[in-house]
Amino acid sequence: MAESTPTNFRAIIVGAGPVGLYLAHALSRANVDYVVLEQYGSVHRFHGAGVFLYPHTLRLLDQIGLYEKAEKDFTIAHTQTDLLTSNGRVIKSTPLWSMLGEQHAYPIAGLSRGQLIALLYENLPEKASRVKTGAAVLDIEAQDKGVKVRLTDGSIEEGSILIGVDGVYSKTRQILQQQLAQTPPDTWPMTATYNGLYGCFRSCHGFEPGTFYQSRGSGIVSQMIVGADRGHFAILRPILPTTESKRYTTEDRDRLAEELANIMVGPSVRFQDIWGLTDKETAAMVNQEEGYCDEWYHERVVLAGDAVHKATSATGLGVNTGINSAAVLANELYRTLRSEPDPSTRAIEDAFARYQQIRTPEASRLHTIGRRQIRGVTWETWADWLFDRFVNPWIGVGKIVGIIGKLIQRGQILEYVLFTDREVRVPWKNRPTA
């Protein structure tokens, strides 16, 4: 356990998604006082959106004692199968995910975003007093020794720093941009370029449990992870770029599902086959944004997760990137507080600068890869089609394992939390120092 840190230092975390809640655990382990502000009336709002947790993220959950508690919700991926939406023809099938799991001592696990949030929230110490719902940020006032946050209900929260993990339409980021420019920003870093459906369904004949299916075609990609009794799906298609937040109705969702009814999502399964087995309470139609911010912090305000870098769900890396960034931010805050119990704004900014410097290479690269991948599997250009159809099937699984493995190997860890690593074939680059 970490050494004591000063009781007068208080972090305000804006956003109770997976990244914000993991950060709350990390600060709790560092004995740092904090509060989480969630604008909606409940933390438990997401049900059907599936997430992929890679070994380096599962290692972070293991370090804070949550891995074994999460296992019951996992759908473990072993195989990746690529096929065509037009006829269900399999163009490639490899044991990609099992190879990665064997190499890094943790599996690749699918579960719903709601299950991940519930895991983090229900196991958070003092959650009733630490997490405030219905707490929407109106304004942020920077002060010499801290920040003052005005909420829409008229109340005020005061702290030493503010961490914005409030998603792609981050209110924190909007205010930070205004403070940096001293005028309302005329650019919006996040642009919706795709939309689609996601949901959870009862597994059916035609799917092999433990397989991640990726079905591609011109202007469409379907992805799903299937377990013994349930599966999660996401289907994406390009749209005209927009920076406007869009909420789709149930009628919009059902209309799109009807349009997609005949695409092949498995070798012998059409989308209409799983839509009939989908729990409609978990299904939604959403826009998927892409974007990257160059400015991650200003004075005592810092951003993390989708608030600062966002790719579509096609890579399955979004929540992994955000949680690993949160670990780095927690490490830098812990180091700062050990050397300067009541840190100046300069010391805080130095910590934020180190955090951004450590995370920028990976976050920027993954953002670029994400943009390239979604366009490649939806055949945006003839070159994308040519590569995906005739080059990709011949790329050896060992090469792909090597590329993804390097990302996993560089996974972060909370330096100040005691932890005994599992034996791995490929050593981790980062280890606890506690």
Q: What is the full per-residue pLDDT of the chain (434 aa) written as tens digits?
A: 565 555 589 999 999 999 999 999 999 999 999 999 999 999 987 767 899 999 999 999 999 999 999 999 999 999 999 999 999 999 999 999 999 999 999 999 999 999 999 999 999 999 999 999 999 999 999 888 999 999 999 999 999 999 999 999 999 999 998 887 754 555 678 999 999 999 999 988 889 999 999 999 999 999 999 998 899 999 999 999 999 989 999 999 999 999 999 999 999 999 999 999 999 998 999 999 999 999 999 999 999 999 999 999 999 999 999 999 999 999 999 999 999 999 999 999 999 999 999 999 999 999 999 999 999 999 999 999 999 999 999 999 999 999 999 999 999 999 999 999 999 999 999 999 87
Q: Which two tokens stand for residue 389?
A: 């159809």
| Annotated catalytic residue, options 80, 115, 177, 223 | 223
From the options 3.50.50.60, 3.30.465.10, 3.60.15.10, 3.30.420.10, give the CATH code of 10-74+111-188+291-375.
3.50.50.60
Which residues have CB under 8 Å from 217's CB, separation 6+? 84, 85, 86, 263, 378, 379
223: annotated active-site residue: yes
* Other CB atoms within 10 Å distance of the CB of residue 281: 10
The full set of domain ranges for the chain reads: 10-74+111-188+291-375
Cα distance between residue 382 and residue 376, in whole Å: 10
Are 165 and 15 within 8 A, CB to CB? yes
pTM of the model: 0.96
